[in-house]
Chain A
Amino acid sequence: MNTNDDAIIQVEHLVRKFGDRSVLDDISFNVHRGDTLVIMGGSGCGKSTLLRHMIGSMKPTSGVVKLFGEEITNMKERELERVRLRFGMLFQSGALLASQTVGENVALPLLQHTEKSIDEIEEIVKEKLQMVGLTGFEDLRPDEISGGMKKRVGLARALALDPELLFSDEPTSGLDPIMTAVVDELTLKLTHGTHMTAVVVSHDMTSAFRIATRMIMLGHGGIVAQGTPDEIRNSPNPEVQQFIHGEADGPIPLNLSQEEHEDHQHVKPRPFVAARDRFHRKTG
């Protein structure tokens, strides 16, 4: 399954270290055209880091990431721009340009990368905003809309160029259940209808099982489990079961391990103690 012509994304032996700590340790997987891959895992397990490597905004310590068969890990910024035109990315916060209106944000990639007329662009912006349920919001500024709306505008912007591949960082967190369903259906429609490929980082298990064709669970810097949604649902791995059922008790450690804890202490020598001492000195 490693070398497959159909693979849109190939991640091979990806390692990323911050200092001595391996956040991603020898991760390999492929994503095929039309697939929706959901990456899950606890907070801080490296999901977003993995995503950043796939879009080329972080360089791995070692290993290779290929998009559309081209290795992006050693690409120059110019070449990377060419690849980036083929995918869209929805950031966790939406990452809208605060100085521009909702409409201008969605129009931005079209204005920058296409020769379309203003009328055509206006039409596309309207259509994309309608897809995410935000008709008529063109003239509002990002600070005038809610977090969930920002995210949907971010999705509309990511889809503006009709990408072959969509990356989403927690697309449904902060959305109400109905909007979550709308966004999920949109993802399904795009992956089925236009053979778009999607990579979604998500905590939301309902949504994840609704859209995924493949799932990967990250933990301890590596892949804990991967497979189809059914395989994941029936996985004998207790960590997977704990995660998908959202149980507090189980094998996944809730706190940092002792070793990491000591590591942190080494960096910051007990900050509260210093603050307390200052307080006592002041008050006598």
Chain B
Amino acid sequence: MVAIGVRATPMVALTAFSVGVTLAMQAAHSLQSLGAEMYIPDLVMLTLLREMGPVLIAVIVIGRSCSAVAAELGTMKVSEEIEALEVMAINPVQYLVVPRFLAMMVMLPALTIFGNYIGILGGWAVCTFALDFNTAGYVMEALQSAEAWDLYSGMIKSVVFAWIVITIACNAGLNVEGGAEGVGQATTSSVVQALLAMLVMNAVLTGVFFFSA
């Protein structure tokens, strides 16, 4: 089950790197006209830690694992496997949902931390190779801009997203009815619901963390 997370790393890395690069380029474009290139690392760092990191990694995990879990559990439901577990006095929630739940709760935050690093690396690549930053300057500036809270807020978001995503996925899977078509519908609706719930929750959490205080 933990392989859910491990196998997602290349995709997470590529996404995060692209986002880091894009952020740095956009920042360079706007900030250069103000003569404030030195703040590029700050922008990349804060955007990634607070918003883009948790959200984008969650999008990837929803696409990969939310759909997979919903489809897998749905297929098990349709092919009587869930009923068979119940009849063998094995609680399907304990046996099937709990490990997936734990895997998601651990792996999504872990992937988010990993993605943050790679994204910052992307920003570094732009700054070092296209602009005249040196590595030490980039690292120093990035680290100075961020506080521990920026990282923690992103992590809290990530944990909340993990909880939302896996709950929606398992719920959709276990409530499938009506054969292969039902599995398809449940998978689609789980992805759509998880995406919407995640984005709305992100707005709420950003409001709570950075806007209300």
Contact = CB atoms under 8 A, between A and B. Distances in A.
A89 B84 CA distance: 8
Interface string A76-96: 010011101100010111011
B89 A95 contact: no
A109 B86 contact: no
Contacts of A112: 88-90, 95
B80 A113 contact: no
**Secondary structure class of chain B's binding surface, majority of residues:** helix
A81 B76 contact: no
B141 to A, nearest CB: 48
A146 interface: no
Interface in B49-95: 72, 75-76, 79-81, 83-91, 95
A81 B87 CA distance: 8
A113 B89 CA distance: 9
A57 interface: yes
A108 B91 CA distance: 12
Contacts of A85: 89
Number of chain B interface residues as a range: 10 to 19
Interface residues of A, number: 22
A98 B83 CA distance: 14
Interface string A42-68: 000000000000010100000000000
A98 B89 CA distance: 18
A95 B90 contact: no
A221 B41 CA distance: 75
Contacts of A57: 83, 86-87
Nearest to A78: B91
A95 B91 contact: no
Contacts of A95: 79-81, 83-84
A81 B81 contact: no
B90 A91 contact: no
A89 B87 contact: yes
Contact of A93 (B75, B79, B86, B89): B79
A268 to B, nearest CB: 14
A98 B76 CA distance: 8
Contacts of B90: 108-109, 112
A96 B87 contact: no
Interface string A206-223: 000000000000000000
A205 interface: no
Most buried by A among B72, B81, B83: B81
A186 interface: no
Nearest to B83: A57
Nearest to A167: B87
A84 B88 contact: yes
A97 interface: yes
Nearest to B84: A95
B87 A93 contact: no
Contact of A91 (B75, B80, B89): B80
Contacts of A98: 75-76, 79, 81
A109 B89 CA distance: 8
A84 B81 contact: no
Interface in A10-58: 55, 57
A139 B168 CA distance: 34
Nearest to B80: A95
B2 to A, nearest CB: 15
Contacts of B89: 80-82, 84-85, 109, 112-113
Interface of A: 55, 57, 77, 80-82, 84-85, 89, 91-93, 95-99, 108-109, 112-113, 157
Closest 7 CB pairs of A and B: A95-B84, A84-B89, A95-B80, A81-B89, A89-B87, A85-B89, A109-B88
14 contacts: A81-B89, A84-B86, A84-B87, A89-B88, A93-B80, A96-B84, A97-B85, A98-B81, A99-B72, A108-B90, A109-B88, A109-B90, A112-B95, A113-B89
Given A55-B87, A84-B86, 9 more contacts: A81-B89, A89-B84, A89-B88, A95-B84, A96-B81, A98-B76, A108-B90, A112-B88, A113-B89
